[in-house]
Structure 1
Amino acid sequence: MAKNSRLPTSDRFRADFPEFSDETRYPSASIDFYLGMADTILDQNKLGDQFVYLAELFVAHYTELRGRITAGASSGVNSSGGGVATSKSVDKVSVSYDTSGIINPDAGFWNNTGYGREFFWWWSMFGAGGRQLL
């Protein structure tokens, strides 16, 4: 039984995040596992109206990482390593990206997906108190 009564189901998660509709790459068992983790770690009483969205961002972050591993395994590539790629070279062509505008140095592991970066930002806002913009 879920600790949080508003914990979304895997069907609700897939409806809100249709990019995870591929059940081969993103099995329901993985989504359900991470929903259980979100239920353990997050508290709807503290997160209020944002609880469902934050739980889904949490699940999307982990599910995307798991999907990368699953996709890599099917092609014989070990993609379990982490980190944000900032450059790529093939033969004489290379590309790199300035990620300083989107990477939060305090977010660590959460920087590995866009969902994680958004989760970390929202999650860090709770309990931050008032802010004044100049």
Structure 2
Amino acid sequence: MTPTQFRSDFPEFTDPTKYSDTLIQMWLTVAASLVNGCRWMELTNIGIELVTAHHLTIALRDQTAAAVGGIPGVMTGPTSAKAVDKVSTSYDTSAATLENGGFWNLTSYGARYLSLARMMGAGGMQINGNC
């Protein structure tokens, strides 16, 4: 997996000023250690890409906060309600988050990764000479 392939599969990360090749490669490397290719098989690359997209999204939030004098790294959960003047909106966050998903629920990429990871980790696994 390369930054070029990642950008091709996830075009929302093509802006090199927001997402440098170095940053993408760093998270691809981290993700590769979290996705067991013996379990994920042909879905290994998508698992690596979802983990990478999750971390890049959080990294951009931190960069954006720091750029306006905020504190990067502050953890917030999904927004459940918002009000501006006389207009308010609320969301059923339980419909879009995974039970016990914690950190992975902070982005849609993380929730997709976790839902797949839970399936990949289910049940026994036969080991052959390759894994």
Counterpart of 1:44 in structure 2 is 37
Identity percentage over the alignment?
A: 36
Aligned partners of 2:67 and 2:89: how far apart in 1? 27
| 1:8-30 CA-partner distances (Å, limit 9, x unpaired) | 11111011000001111112221
Q: Figure out how many residues of one structure are paired with residues of the other and give that number.
A: 123
- 1:94 alignment counterpart: 88
Gaps of 5+ in 1: 1-7, 130-134
Q: Distance in 1 between matches of 2:84 and 2:18?
A: 27
Write the distance in 2 (CA, Å) between the matches of 1:22 and 1:71: 14
Contact 2:79 2:93 (C-alpha < 8 Å) held by counterparts: no
> 1:64-83 residue pairs with structure 2 within 5 A?
64-82=57-75, 83=77
Q: 1:95 aligns to what SS in structure 2?
A: strand
Change (3 A) 1:118 1:30: same
TM-score (norm. length: structure 1): 0.83
In structure 2, stretches of 5+ residues that fail to align are 124-131
Deviation of 1:102 (Å): 1.5
RMSD: 1.7
* Structure 1: 4+ residue segments shifted above 4 A: none
Worse-superposed segment, 49-58 or 82-91: 82-91
